[in-house]
């Protein structure tokens, strides 16, 4: 009887549930992997600035998905920079184009903003982290990229399936607030495209790089036609062409 009453007291229930989570091997493993990723030193900003530094002409940079520009956009060294964000996550949203990437590219191709003939040296895609949207962003980015330019994608290397969940809003998984979404699927699709060279820098949640001109990594045959996470995880090195940033820089020596 006393046991039954105790079981029904909310605080005790919460304690018992919480204890279960904190001792759960999925939680522990995921938290370790989150901490390992956070401790990696190289940042997306350093990588983007390195790619821009390879160009001798005045450089033109586009960022899709900006949130707080102080965290990346403002730190980018390019002669001309443009930013696109509908303002989902950062109310101030101080960007050039307050709209989704789809609307931006639609207006660009209709000649309503900038110039239809504009070309960028580096386009950083870090907007809505769902595979279908990321794939659309990549297709559109290549339309407006110089032949020797780079399309760069954030969040290509989710450390666990919880980081790679589709729903950003749910924070009670072992990954808590950390979210890479399903960008990895779009990147993997493009890794299998024979006209594109690609690799993923092993830092800052996986910085994927695509280039039609620079020989940064051969395309692969697909071994994961249904984009299943466990297959991706078993073949992560090859599927992403994961590479250390110092090694990547040597390609350009």
Ligand X SMILES: C[S@@+](CC[C@H](N)C(=O)[O-])C[C@H]1O[C@@H](n2cnc3c(N)ncnc32)[C@H](O)[C@@H]1O
Report the interface residues with ligand X, using CB under 6 A: 44, 63-67, 71-72, 84-90, 100-101, 126-128
The three-point CA angle 212-179-53 to 5° equals 35
Q: What is the C-alpha separation between 253 and 249, in angstroms, rounded?
A: 7
Shortest distance, position 10 Cβ to ligand X, whole Å: 36
Distances (CA, A) of 150 to 108, 153, 181: 19, 10, 22
Shortest distance, position 2 Cβ to ligand X, whole Å: 51
Shortest distance, position 175 Cβ to ligand X, whole Å: 15
Shortest distance, position 22 Cβ to ligand X, whole Å: 28
Coil/strand/helix, residue 214: coil
> Of the two residues 72 and 224, which places its CB atom closer to ligand X in the complex?
72
Q: What is the C-alpha separation between 184 and 164, in angstroms, rounded?
A: 8
Q: Do the beta carbons of residue 229 and residue 187 sit within 8 Å?
A: no
Shortest distance, position 129 Cβ to ligand X, whole Å: 7
> Of the two residues 121 and 204, which places its CB atom closer to ligand X in the complex?
204
Nearest alpha carbon to residue 19 among 29, 6, 28: 28
> Of the two residues 66 and 156, which places its CB atom closer to ligand X in the complex?
66
Shortest distance, position 128 Cβ to ligand X, whole Å: 4
Q: Do the beta carbons of residue 43 and residue 204 sit within 8 Å?
A: yes
Shortest distance, position 241 Cβ to ligand X, whole Å: 22
> Of the two residues 207 and 220, which places its CB atom closer to ligand X in the complex?
207
Q: What is the C-alpha separation between 210 and 201, in angstroms, rounded?
A: 11
> Of the two residues 86 and 208, which places its CB atom closer to ligand X in the complex?
86
> Of the two residues 69 and 149, which places its CB atom closer to ligand X in the complex?
69
CA 187 to chain centroid: 9
Q: What is the C-alpha separation between 124 and 95, in angstroms, rounded?
A: 14
Quick one: residue 187, left, alpha or beta (phi over 0 = left, psi -120 to 50 = alpha)?
alpha
Q: What is the C-alpha separation between 155 and 129, in angstroms, rounded?
A: 8
> Of the two residues 94 and 192, which places its CB atom closer to ligand X in the complex?
94
């Amino acid at each position: 009887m006393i046991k039954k009453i105790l079981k029904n007291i909310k605080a005790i229930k919460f304690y018992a549930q919480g204890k279960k989570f904190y001792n759960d091997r999925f939680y522990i493993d995921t938290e370790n992997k989150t901490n390992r990723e956070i401790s990696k030193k190289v940042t997306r900003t350093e990588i983007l600035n390195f790619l821009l530094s390879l160009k001798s002409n005045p450089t033109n940079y586009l960022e899709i998905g900006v949130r707080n520009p102080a965290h990346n956009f403002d730190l980018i060294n390019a002669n001309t920079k443009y930013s696109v964000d509908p303002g989902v996550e950062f109310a101030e949203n101080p960007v050039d184009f307050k709209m989704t990437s789809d609307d931006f590219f639609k207006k660009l191709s209709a000649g309503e903003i900038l110039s239809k003939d504009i070309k960028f040296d580096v386009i950083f895609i870090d907007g809505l982290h769902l595979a279908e949207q990321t794939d659309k962003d990549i297709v559109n980015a290549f339309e407006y990229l110089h032949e020797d330019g780079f399309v760069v994608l954030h969040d290509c290397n989710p450390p666990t399936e919880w980081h790679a969940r589709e729903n950003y809003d749910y924070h009670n998984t072992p990954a808590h607030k950390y979210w890479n979404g399903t960008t990895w699927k779009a990147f993997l699709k493009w890794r299998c495209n024979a006209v594109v060279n690609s690799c993923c820098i092993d830092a800052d949640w996986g910085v994927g790089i695509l280039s039609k001109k620079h020989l940064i990594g051969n395309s692969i045959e697909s071994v994961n036609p249904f984009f299943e996470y466990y297959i991706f995880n078993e073949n992560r090195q090859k599927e992403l062409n994961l590479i250390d940033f110092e090694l990547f820089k040597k390609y350009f020596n």
